[in-house]
Amino acid sequence: MNVLTQYIVKEILKGSFIALILLLTLFNLFTLSDELKDIGKGHYDLAAIFSYVALTSPRVCYELVPAAALLGSLFVLGAMGNNRELIAMRAAGLSILKMVRAVLISGAILATFSVGVGELIAPTTEAHAQLLRATAQNKPLVLHALYGLWLREDNKFINVRHLENNGELADISIYELNSQAHLQNMAHAEKGIYLQNEQWRLENLVQSQISIEKMQASSKTEQFWQTTIAPDLVKIAVVNPDNLSLIDLAQYIEFLKSNQQKSQSFELAFWGRIVNPLVTFVMLLVATPFVMGLKRGMNVGSRMMIGICIGMSFNILDSIFGHVGLIYDFNPLLVAIFPSLLVSVLSLYTLRRLC
């Protein structure tokens, strides 16, 4: 990289990280304000609230990187335009395409940072945050549904009402159907402890065998249960699909497909996480033609308003297309990539007209 390219990259990164810190602080203040309403529930005190906010910060940071890149680049490139630095750079032989290349180099660095936070840190801290909040408020952790987490394995349907902080399960019901889809076995265990090799120990188990002629009940202090359902798979249910790592999503999608269950929402979240780093590039591409085409002397407030409008419009488009895709069963990859692809094409077309 030459000196001018390095300068643009450094300034965009500096502006983007400053914008990220400000946005993260703002969003954390909103979260803190919401959580303070629940103070006093169980053991949910100030220390627990601050821990919850700290643990959710990596997830919020990951989500805010594209917006920070947009605002940071608008501020930095706009300031360069006001100070006539861009004109001086073009007079020195730096073309618009080379400026765009410098912007995209900044995007690559920001995208790498985003992937590192989103894949290595955020999923773990988000799961801990949800568990901490639930246990501190002395509430059973209600998973995906109103009546806990439902899982299917072959002809068995498993309902888990409570997930303990140490990974143990509680209030477990197992329903087994025969080939005619009639209930033939039902079991309820107070607790399930994972051992190893896909094996659980069920404690205080009550079983019922059901047939047309009779129903026979029995109870056991403990019984071993062989299943492909592991603690990590159950903990996935604690976190919103959009906040899971790619590995967790891939494992859960495979589990759902192997048991003939719908997995489209998780597939959409999977492809969305792959596309998300590209959104940073899209936001930077959007900012560049806007700055190049704006008149000099535009103040900071005007640029902020432009950035907010662009970011909100993109999020609304992405959300609408995502819901439409789920309703009409569109291809998840197409649903995830279409908004970014559309905005990228429009940005490149605008840049081409400026060149």
How far is Cα 333 from Cα 8, in angstroms, rounded to an integer?
A: 33
Mean pLDDT rounded to a whole number for the chain = 83
Q: Please check whether residue 187 is in contact with residue 207, taking contact to mean a CB–CB distance below 8 angstroms.
A: yes
β-partners of residue 192 are 169, 202
Q: Do 102 and 166 fall within a single domain?
A: no
Residue 212 has, within 13 A of its CA and on its CB side, a CA count of 2
Q: Do 281 and 222 fall within a single domain?
A: no
Q: Please check whether residue 13 is in contact with residue 106, taking contact to mean a CB–CB distance below 8 angstroms.
A: yes
Q: Do 201 and 340 fall within a single domain?
A: no
Q: Do 7 and 125 fall within a single domain?
A: yes
Q: What is the pLDDT of residue 292?
A: 64
Q: Do 269 and 304 fall within a single domain?
A: yes
For 337-344, what is the mean pLDDT?
A: 87
Residue 93: which residues within 8 A CB-CB, separation 6 or more? none
* Chain mean position to CA 57: 12
How far is Cα 20 from Cα 22, in angstroms, rounded to an integer?
A: 5
Does residue 144 sit within a domain? no
> The pTM is what?
0.73
Q: Do 123 and 269 fall within a single domain?
A: yes
For 293-317, what is the mean pLDDT?
A: 69
Q: Do 205 and 106 fall within a single domain?
A: no
Q: What is the pLDDT of residue 304?
A: 64
Domain total for the chain? 2
The residue ranking higher by pLDDT, 122 or 349, is: 122
Out of 177, 211, 227, a domain closes at 227
For 218-224, what is the mean pLDDT?
A: 90
Q: Do 129 and 212 fall within a single domain?
A: no
Does residue 211 sit within a domain? yes
For 261-289, what is the mean pLDDT?
A: 84
Q: Do 8 and 131 fall within a single domain?
A: yes
**Helix, strand or coil, per DSSP, at residue 1:** coil
Which candidate, 196, 194, 191, places its Cα nearest to that of 172?
191
Does residue 246 sit within a domain? no
Q: Do 202 and 129 fall within a single domain?
A: no
Does residue 253 sit within a domain? no
**Helix, strand or coil, per DSSP, at residue 142:** coil
Out of 178, 207, 227, a domain closes at 227
Out of 203, 227, 251, a domain closes at 227
For 238-243, what is the mean pLDDT?
A: 68
Q: What is the pLDDT of residue 16?
A: 94
133 has pLDDT over 50: yes
Does residue 248 sit within a domain? no
Does residue 255 sit within a domain? no
Q: Do 19 and 126 fall within a single domain?
A: yes
Residue range of the domain that includes 219:
155-227
For 44-48, what is the mean pLDDT?
A: 91
Q: Do 46 and 192 fall within a single domain?
A: no
How far is Cα 276 from Cα 111, in angstroms, rounded to an integer?
A: 8
* Burial of 305 per CB tally in 10 Å (0-12, 13-18, 19+): exposed
What string of DSSP letters covers 274-314?
A: HHHHHHHHHHHHHHHHHHHHSPTT--HHHHHHHHHHHHHHH
Does residue 243 sit within a domain? no
Quick one: three-class SS letters along 78-100?
A: HHHHHCCHHHHHHHCCCCHHHHH
For 326-354, what is the mean pLDDT?
A: 84
146 has pLDDT over 50: no
Q: How confident is the model at residue 144 (pLDDT cuts 50, 70, 90)?
A: very low
Most confident stretch, 148-162, 284-298, 320-334:
320-334
For 19-47, what is the mean pLDDT?
A: 92
Which candidate, 46, 19, 70, places its Cα nearest to that of 284?
70
For 315-343, what is the mean pLDDT?
A: 86
* Burial of 9 per CB tally in 10 Å (0-12, 13-18, 19+): buried
Does residue 204 sit within a domain? yes
- pLDDT tens track for 172-217: 999 999 888 888 999 999 999 888 777 899 999 999 998 877 888 8
